[in-house]
A and B are shown apart, each in its own frame.
Chain A
Amino acid sequence: MKKAKIYPAPFSKNRRRDKKCDKGCGVYFDYAATTPLDAKVLKRMMPYLKDKYGNPSSLHQFGREASEAIDEARERVAKFLGCKPTEIIFTGSASESDNLAIRGLVKSLRRTKRAGERMHIITSSIEHKAVIETCKDLEKEGVRVTYLPVGPDGLINLDDLEAEITPETDLVSIMYANNEMGAIQPIKKIGQLIAKSNKFEEHLTYFHTDAVQAANWLNCDVKELDVDLLTLSAHKIYGPKGVGVLYAKEGTPIHALITGGDQEWKLRAGTENVAGIVGMGEAIEQIKNQNSKIKIIQKLRDKLVADVLIRVERSKLNGPDNPEDKLPNIANFSFEGVEGEALVLSLDQEGIAVSTGSACTSQVLLPSHVLMAMGLSDLEAHSSLRISFGKYTTAKEIDYFLKVLPQVVERLRKISGR
C-alpha cells in the first residue's frame, strides 16, 4: 500500500518539541476540546502552587494571601460577565457548574412545590452531555423535560421555545455556542422572550446558558444576555483544567450539591483550588486582548473550509451556513466513505490532532446526538470530523493539514471501497 507522503509538520506554538516525535508532530486543531495553558496564566498561578499555599479559610497571613487572590480572580470574572463578584461561584469544572445550575435550582424549587406539582425544564437536543444527561437523570426523579429540536443549521426555533414555555416552566437551559459544529443560539433573544413571559407570570422561569465554547469569541455580558445562570470553563480559554465558573444572578434559588463548608457562598463546599482560580482570573483577563485575533482566526477557518471542500471530493460542511450563526474557530465536515475514528487516528499518525462525532469514541455505538439532531444520516455522522482553531493556530499548520488530509481520506476510501 502506498503510504501518504510525510511532510515535516510545523510545530504548534507553545508546544515543546518531543524527541520521540520524529514525524513532525503537534499540529493541534482541537481547541474546542481543550486549550494550551497561556504562559502568562501559568506565571500567575505558580506562586500559589509553591510558596503561597495557605488555605483561604484560615485567618492568618497565609490564608489571607490565598483568599485575597481568589477575591481578585472573582472580581476579574465578574467584570468580564458584567455582574457582581458575589454572583460568581467557582467550581471544579464546567460540568459541575451545569449540574449546580440545573440540579441546584431543581433542589431549591422542589422545596417550594405543593404535592403533585411537577417541575418543568426546557432544553435543546444539542446540549453538552453535562446538561442533557443531567436533565435525563432528573426525568427519572419526575421532572418533566422538553428537548427542543434544531434545524439542519443546528439552531433552535424561537417559536418552538415560546410554545413550550408554560406557567409551570421552571428552567430553560440552552447552550450559547455548540462544541461540535459551533452553532450560536440566539441567547439574547431567548433571554428577552423569557423576561417577557415572566412579566405576566407569578411563577418565574429561570434561564441558564452553557457559555463554555462562547467565552473566547462572544459577548458574555449577563445583563445584555438576560440570563440568570451562566457556565464557564477555565481550560477552554487557555486557563488550567479543573476550574469552572457558575454565574448565578442574585436571588436565583439554587442549593449546594456539595455540602460541608462555607466556601463559595455555601454553594460549593471544599477548599478552593487557589492556583486554578487565580489562573481562571488571568485567563479571562487575557480574553479582552483577543478581539483582533477573532477576525484572523475566522479568515484561517474560512480558507480551510474552502480548500477542504475543493481538495476532497464528496466532502460536506456541517452546521450553520450563515457565518454570523457560528463560532469563528470551528469547522465540522463529513467525508463520505470514511469512518471518523479511523480518520482521526490516521491524521494523528501524521501529527494532526482533531476530533470526530463518530460513535467509536463513545460507550454506546451511536453517533453524536448533536449531529443526529441536526438531521445528518448515520453514515454522515459517523464520517464527521471536527476541526477547531485557537489563538496559536498558524497558516503553516493549515497548509500542512491541507496536504495530508486528501491523502489520508483517499487511503481510507480505498480500504472501504466507497
Chain B
Amino acid sequence: MYSKKVMEHFTHPKFFGKIENPDIIGKAGNPRCGDLLTLYLKIDKKTKKIKDIKFKTLGCAAAIAASDMICQLVKGKALRQALNISFQDVSNELGVLPPLKIHCAQLVTEALRDAINNYK
C-alpha cells in the first residue's frame, strides 16, 4: 500500500517533537477524520527563513510521513518560498501517496499555510 519512502518517514521521522517558544504555530485536521497536526516553527527575523521546524501528528502512517516530509522540504527556506510548496510536491517527494491518502499531504500544506498566515 505504501512506498518505502513513506514507511521510512513513518518509522523514523526526524522532525517530530516540539519547539520551546516557537515563533509561529500552524494547525490542521479534525477529530472526525482522525488526523490532528501541529507545526512549530522558528523564524530568522532578518532573513525570514525557517530556522527550525517540528511537528506533532496524531494520524495514520501517511499523515506522519507527510508531516515529516513537509518539515524536511521547508527547513532553511524563506517563508515566501515555503508558501509555494504544494501538496503534490509533498506527495511526489514521498514517492506518491495512495489516492486515498492524498488528503494527508493536503493537510500538512494546510498546516504550513496556517502557520505562515500567523506570522506577523
List the interface of chain A (C-beta within 8 A of B): 1, 3, 337-342, 345-346, 349, 358-360, 363, 365-367, 377-379, 382, 414-418
Contacts and interface: CB of A to CB of B under 8 A. Distances in A.
A416 B57 contact: yes
A345 B10 contact: yes
A413 to B, nearest CB: 9
Interface in B50-68: 56-64
A367 to B, nearest CB: 7
17 contacts: A340-B34, A340-B60, A342-B64, A345-B2, A359-B33, A365-B33, A365-B34, A365-B103, A378-B31, A414-B16, A415-B13, A416-B59, A417-B38, A417-B56, A417-B58, A418-B56, A418-B58
B33 A415 contact: no
Interface in B3-28: 7, 10-13, 16-18
A343 to B, nearest CB: 9
Contact of B58 (A339, A346, A359): A339
Contacts of A360: 34, 60, 62, 101
Contact of A416 (B10, B31, B58): B58
B56 A416 contact: yes
Contacts of B34: 339-340, 358-360, 365, 367, 378-379, 382
B32 interface: yes
Given A359-B34, A379-B58, A417-B18, 19 more contacts: A3-B11, A339-B35, A341-B60, A342-B59, A342-B63, A358-B34, A358-B60, A359-B33, A360-B101, A363-B100, A379-B31, A382-B34, A415-B13, A415-B16, A415-B56, A416-B36, A417-B38, A417-B58, A418-B36
A415 B35 CA distance: 12
A267 B56 CA distance: 56
A366 B71 CA distance: 27
Nearest to B99: A363
B15 to A, nearest CB: 10
A90 to B, nearest CB: 33
B31 A339 contact: no
A366 to B, nearest CB: 7
B13 A337 contact: no
B61 A341 contact: yes
A137 to B, nearest CB: 23
B34 to A, nearest CB: 3
A18 B31 CA distance: 39
- Which of A338, A360, A365 is the most central at the interface, judged by chain B CB atoms within 10 Å of its CB? A360
Contacts of A1: 12-13, 16
Contacts of B10: 342, 345
B32 A338 contact: no
A345 B61 contact: yes
Contacts of A339: 34-35, 58-60, 63
Contacts of A340: 34, 60
A371 to B, nearest CB: 12
Contacts of B31: 377-379, 382
A115 B16 CA distance: 64
Nearest to A367: B34
Contacts of B58: 337-339, 379, 416-418
A130 B63 CA distance: 30
Contacts of A418: 36, 56, 58
Nearest to A336: B58
Question: Which are the 7 A-B pairs with shortest beta-carbon distances?
Answer: A417-B56, A382-B34, A416-B58, A341-B60, A360-B60, A378-B31, A365-B33
